[in-house]
Homo-oligomer: A and B are copies of this chain.
Amino acid sequence: MTDAYPALTGHLADAGTDGYLLDADGDDSNQRYLSGMDSLGEFVALYADGEVRLLVPDLEAPRAEAESDADAVRRRSEFGFGDLVVERGPALAGPLATARFLADYGVESVSVPPNFPTGTADALRDEGIEVVADYDDAVTGVRAVKSPAEIEAVAAAQRANEDAMAAVEALLADAAVEDGVLRLGGDTVTSERVREVIEAELRDAGCELSECIVASGPEAAKAHAVGSGPIRAGEPVIVDVFPRDEASGYVGDMTRTFVKGDPDEKVREWYEVTREAYETALAAIEPGVTGEAVNDAVCDVFEAAGYPTLRTDEATDDGLYHPTGHGVGLDLHEEPKLSWGAGELEPGNVVTVEPGCYEQGVGGVRLEDVVVVTEDGYRNLNDYPRDLRVV
Residues A110-126 near B (CB distance < 8 A): 112-123
Name the B residues within 8 Å of A123 (CB-CB).
133
Stretch at the interface among A3-11, A85-93, A279-287, A345-353: A85-93
Nearest chain-B residue to A78 (Cβ)?
B315
Tell whether, in the assembled complex, residue B114 and residue A340 are in contact, meaning their CB atoms are under 8 Å apart: no
Nearest chain-B residue to A132 (Cβ)?
B122
A75 to B310, CA, bound (A): 13
Tell whether, in the assembled complex, residue A314 and residue B77 are in contact, meaning their CB atoms are under 8 Å apart: yes
Nearest chain-B residue to A67 (Cβ)?
B225
Name the B residues within 8 Å of A225 (CB-CB).
63
Q: Which residue from B39, B113, B223 sits with its C-beta under 8 Å from A224?
A: B39
Q: Which residue from B119, B208, B310, B317 sits with its C-beta under 8 Å from A113?
A: B119
How far in angstroms is the closest Cβ of chain B from A109? 14
Tell whether, in the assembled complex, residue B119 and residue A117 are in contact, meaning their CB atoms are under 8 Å apart: no
Tell whether, in the assembled complex, residue A321 and residue B58 are in contact, meaning their CB atoms are under 8 Å apart: yes
Asked if A60 is an interface residue, CB under 8 A from chain B, the answer is yes
Residues A50-96 near B (CB distance < 8 A): 58-63, 66, 75, 77-78, 81-82, 85-86, 89-92
Asked if A222 is an interface residue, CB under 8 A from chain B, the answer is yes
Q: Which residue from B63, B86, B209 sits with its C-beta under 8 Å from A341?
A: B86
How far in angstroms is the closest Cβ of chain B from A54? 15
Q: Which residue from B61, B82, B340 sits with its C-beta under 8 Å from A85?
A: B340
Tell whether, in the assembled complex, residue A82 and residue B209 are in contact, meaning their CB atoms are under 8 Å apart: no
A314-B58 in contact given A115-B117, A115-B119, A119-B114 (Cβ < 8 Å): yes
How far in angstroms is the closest Cβ of chain B from A87? 9
A59-B209 in contact given A117-B116, A119-B113 (Cβ < 8 Å): no
Which of A40, A59, A114, A322 is packed against the most chain B CB atoms within 10 Å?
Answer: A114
Which of A62, A78, A86, A339 is packed against the most chain B CB atoms within 10 Å?
Answer: A62
A321 to B77, CA, bound (A): 12
Name the B residues within 8 Å of A121 (CB-CB).
118, 121
Name the B residues within 8 Å of A78 (CB-CB).
315
Name the B residues within 8 Å of A39 (CB-CB).
224
Q: Which residue from B77, B91, B310 sits with its C-beta under 8 Å from A114?
A: B91
Which of A40, A82, A86, A92 is packed against the most chain B CB atoms within 10 Å?
Answer: A40
Q: Which residue from B63, B91, B131, B322 sits with its C-beta under 8 Å from A118?
A: B131
Name the B residues within 8 Å of A314 (CB-CB).
58, 77, 81-82
Which of A86, A119, A120 is packed against the most chain B CB atoms within 10 Å?
Answer: A119
Name the B residues within 8 Å of A91 (CB-CB).
114, 135-137
Nearest chain-B residue to A121 (Cβ)?
B118
Tell whether, in the assembled complex, residue A321 and residue B59 are in contact, meaning their CB atoms are under 8 Å apart: yes
Name the B residues within 8 Å of A260 (CB-CB).
none
Nearest chain-B residue to A316 (Cβ)?
B58
- 15 CB contacts below 8 A, A to B, read A41-B224, A58-B310, A58-B315, A58-B317, A61-B317, A85-B340, A86-B340, A89-B341, A91-B135, A92-B135, A113-B119, A114-B118, A114-B120, A115-B118, A118-B131
Taking Cβ atoms with an 8 Å cutoff, the residues of A that contact B are 39-41, 58-63, 66, 75, 77-78, 81-82, 85-86, 89-92, 112-123, 131, 133, 135-137, 208-209, 222-225, 310, 314-315, 317, 321-322, 333, 337, 339-342, 360
A60-B224, A119-B133 given; 18 more Cβ-contact pairs under 8 Å: A39-B224, A41-B333, A59-B224, A60-B223, A75-B315, A81-B314, A90-B340, A91-B114, A91-B135, A92-B135, A114-B118, A114-B120, A115-B118, A116-B117, A117-B118, A121-B121, A208-B209, A209-B209
